[in-house]
Structures are given as structure tokens and as C-alpha cells.
Amino acid sequence: METIQIILDALPTLLSGMGLTLEITIISLVLAMVIGLVLGVFSITKSKILRAISTVFVDMIRGTPLLVQILFIYFGIPSVFDVNLTAFAAGVIAITINAAAYLVEIFRAGINSIDKGQMEAGRSIGFSYWQTMRLIVLPQAVRRMIPAFVNQFIVSIKDTSLLSAIGIAELTFSGQSIYAANFRAFEILFAVGVLYFVIIYTLSLLSRWLERRLDVA
Amino acid sequence: MKMIEVKSLKKSFGKLEVLKDINIDVAPQEVVCVIGPSGSGKSTLLRCMNRLEEPTAGEIFIEEDNLTDTKTNINQLRQRMGMVFQQFNLFPHKTVMENITMGPQRLKGKSKTEVKELGSQLLEKVGLVDKAKVYPDNLSGGQKQRVAIARALAMEPSIMLFDEPTSALDPEMVGEVLQVMKDLAEDGMTMVIVTHEMGFAKEVADRVIFMDEGFIVEEGSPAELFDNPQHERTKSFLSKVL
């Protein structure tokens, strides 16, 4: 009974942490999708410069640990440049660029998986490259990308726990601050785990539903 | 006026020269069939005619507009040429009707009712009225290719290009597609057809062009080319396919 009481007492703090986790995740993933799409398309254009921009970005971000990126953005950059980032902003930036780097590859592979006859058919009708991309290639590609997107979304949700390192009171940090005071790490971390699971499992169900719905069309 | 004029066209892929100095004129309402062994460059020639392949050298004029000029609005010019592919290339996420109406609706600013009307007419023409709401995956090869022809016609082009339109079809479906093309020729459409269907070329073409190794070896009326070929290479090719 005591266990339940401990968790119930912690719940308001944990739920507000969970809210912050969701907020950061949603903002970051929306931004990351935009960057990922743009750089993903860059990576398959004929322009060497655009391709280089995309490659350098992906290699740099994928080649370094997220924790280092978080610390670099929050502590490193302000120590040299005259910028003052809140922890929240630094966190969103770090999660965004990290997720974007992986999304670039998902977009690239997804677009490449569409038969090039589709682009040719669109162009032969008289559509421009971008019209064909938007109306014909991307709608088909995105459908195939959904499982990979969801995978990356799940990874990013969990990655936000690293933001506890710069003192953002997201779900993990909220848990830490509670058991630091009441020493009930088992109960609190168990509750933290359950809350992450709830978010992620909901997302999985949503994606399965979405895939089924798109499959019919 | 010439519908298509190809002047000294050359095309290389890396070091491989696929087209070597091609010259062709196509007159209004003319049906030209291009035949030749695989690798002779005939598909590349057709794809150069709407710049799906970028010519390496030479010029192409479509109804007197320079296709090869970089100042030409290629998207507008392509609207005047329909293209039919070997692999159909229908849009699998769109219904048959949407496949056909997408172009005129988006590019010509036609209303929904207008394009629906146009779509129904075209489906009638290719004999697929009952398939309007079906997705391409549920069609046979022959039906897909007929939809692809209707889709190209929806832009009301003055020229139709066919790139081996029956090569990917089961034999029993070749006839239905050729029939649609024949009707189109009888309606007076200017057509360039890359094909292996010698019977069709004989019957429908005004002129047959035989290509080999990137050159036009010989051209003439079907009677001249099929019954009285002048070149050794034409003879040897025809003896293998006829």
C-alpha cells in the first residue's frame, strides 16, 4: 500500500514532467520533419552543393553523441558566442537537429524507393519537378516511410530524457528530483518507466491504425 | 509545318555514344514507327524528344519551338506531347479517373466537372468506362496501358510518343492496346512509336525507321522497308523478327 501512496504522491510532479517531455518532443519532431524533408530532397537533387550540405549535416550529427550535442549547445556555444539560450530552447534545438539527421536518411531512402518511372510520368504530363515530387512521389513515399518515422519518433521521445543533464524538468528529471528527496528510487523510476511506456505505446497504436487506413486507399 | 524536327542529335551516357547524328522530320498526322535491335538507341531517341533524356548535342524542334533551348519552358512544351511508357507508370495512389484528370485540372486550370467529363470521354474511347473509380493495381496490363494512353490524351497533346507500349504485356493483351493506338492514328494524331510489333508497324505506320548502333540505317514506307530493304543490317534484322 505504501508503494502506491508513494507513486500517487509523486504523480503530479511526474505528470508535469511528462507534459514537458511531450511538449519538447512534439515541437522538436515537427521542426525535425521539416528539416529532414528539405535536406532529404537536397540529398537526391543534381546539385552537388545541396547534396554536400545534406551529407555534412547528417554525418556530423550522426557521428557525435546526443549528450555531447546537448551540452555543446547549452554550455559550449554561449561560452564563446554572445547567445543566451534557455535550457528549454537548447533542448529543443538538440533534439530537433538530432532527429532531423536521421529523418533525412529516412526521407532519402523513401523517395529513392519510388520507381523513377513515376517522376518521368509526372514530368511527361507537364508537371514541374517540385509538383511531381509533391503530388506523385512524396504521397507514395511517405506511406512507405511511416514505420521508419514512428521508429525515429520513439527514439526521440526517449532521447529527451538526456535533457535532464541540463536541468530541464522533463519526465526523467522530475523522477530524479523526487527520489533524491524520498530515496524511493524503485517506485519512482518504475512509475517513470510506465509513463514513458504509455506515451510510446499510444504512438505505436496510432501508427498501426494509420498504416491500416492508408493501405486501404 | 513540321511537328517534330530532330537535327544532328547526339546523346552519350558517359563514354558510351548511344545516338550518333540523328535527323528526323515528322509531318502533321504522320505515324512513324521506329524499329531496331535492343540497344540501338531507339528508346533514347524517343526520350530525347521530350527531354526525359538531355541531348548531348543537336537540336529538336516541336511545332517549331526549340525544345533544346534552355530558355524554353520545358513543362509547357511537354504538355503538347503525350508519352506512353513500356511500364505504364500509372500513379498507384490515384484512381483511374484521378490519373487522367490530374494533369488537366492542375495544369490547365479546368474545373472538376470539366475534367470529369473529359475523363469519361477518354475512358469511353479506350473502352474502360466501368473502371473510373478503380485503382491501377486492380487492372490488367492491357487495361493499365489503355489508361496510360487516356492519361496522356487528357492534356490534349498534338503529338503522342510511345515507348514500346506493348512490350511488357501478356500476348493476349497486346491487341487491345494496339487497337486503341490504331484508332488514334485514324483520328489523325501525330505519333512516334518505338515498337517490336512489326505487324502493327506494317499496317498503321506511314513511315518506318530502322535504327542500329545509334544511327538511322534506313527509312521508308512500310512497303519499302519491310518488303524491299536496301541495307544488309536491315535485312538481317528483319529476317530475325519477321
Burial class of residue A18 in the structure, from the number of CB atoms within 10 Å of its CB (0-12 exposed, 13-18 middle, 19+ buried): buried
B151 to A125: CB separation less than 8 angstroms, yes or no: yes
In contact, A171 and A3? CB cutoff 8 Å = no
**Across chain B, what does the average pLDDT equal?**
95
Distance from CA of B241 to the nearest CA of A (A): 28
Q: What is the pLDDT of residue B189?
A: 97
Provide the grid cell at A202: 499510444
Could you say which of B52, B81, B92 has the minimum Cβ distance to residue A120? B52
- One pLDDT digit (tens) per residue for chain A, 217 residues: 788 899 898 899 999 999 999 999 999 999 999 999 999 999 998 899 999 999 999 999 999 999 999 999 999 999 999 888 999 999 999 999 999 999 999 999 999 999 999 999 999 999 999 999 999 999 999 988 999 999 999 999 999 999 999 999 999 999 999 999 999 999 999 999 999 999 999 999 998 888 888 764 4
pLDDT of B102 > 90? The answer is yes
> For the sheet containing B65-66, what is the strand order?
B16-26, B4-13, B57-62, B65-66
Cβ-based contacts of B91 with chain A (< 8 Å): 118, 121-122, 136, 140
pLDDT of B107 > 80? The answer is yes
In B45-128, DSSP assigns E strands to: 57-62, 65-66, 81-84
State the ipTM, two decimals: 0.93
How many angstroms separate the first and last alpha carbons of chain B? 35
Tell me the C-alpha distance between A190 and A198, whole Å. 12
Q: What is the pLDDT of residue B70?
A: 86
- What is the CB neighbour count within 10 angstroms for residue B186? 10
A115 to B89: CB separation less than 8 angstroms, yes or no: yes
Q: What is the pLDDT of residue A217?
A: 46
Pairwise pLDDT comparison (A9 vs B147), residue with the higher score: B147
CA A131 to chain centre: 27
Q: Comparing C-alpha atoms, which of A109, A115, A104, A111 is closest to residue A141?
A: A111
Q: What is the pLDDT of residue A215?
A: 67
Tell me the C-alpha distance between B242 and B110, whole Å. 46
Domains observed in chain A: 2-214 (1.10.3720.10)
Q: Does A118 touch chain B (CB under 8 A)?
A: yes
In contact, A18 and A195? CB cutoff 8 Å = yes
- What is the CB neighbour count within 10 angstroms for residue B86? 17
B89 to A143: CB separation less than 8 angstroms, yes or no: no
A131 to B106: CB separation less than 8 angstroms, yes or no: yes
Q: Comparing C-alpha atoms, which of A204, A198, A201, A149 is closest to residue A171?
A: A198
Q: What is the pTM of this model?
A: 0.86
In chain A, DSSP assigns E strands to: none
Strands B159-163 vs B81-84: parallel, antiparallel or unpaired: parallel
Distance from CA of B23 to the nearest CA of A (A): 23
Pairwise pLDDT comparison (B184 vs A3), residue with the higher score: B184
Q: Comparing C-alpha atoms, which of A14, A30, A19 is closest to residue A92?
A: A30
Q: Comparing C-alpha atoms, which of B90, B63, B82, B89 is closest to residue B153?
A: B82
Lookup result for grid cell 520507381: A115
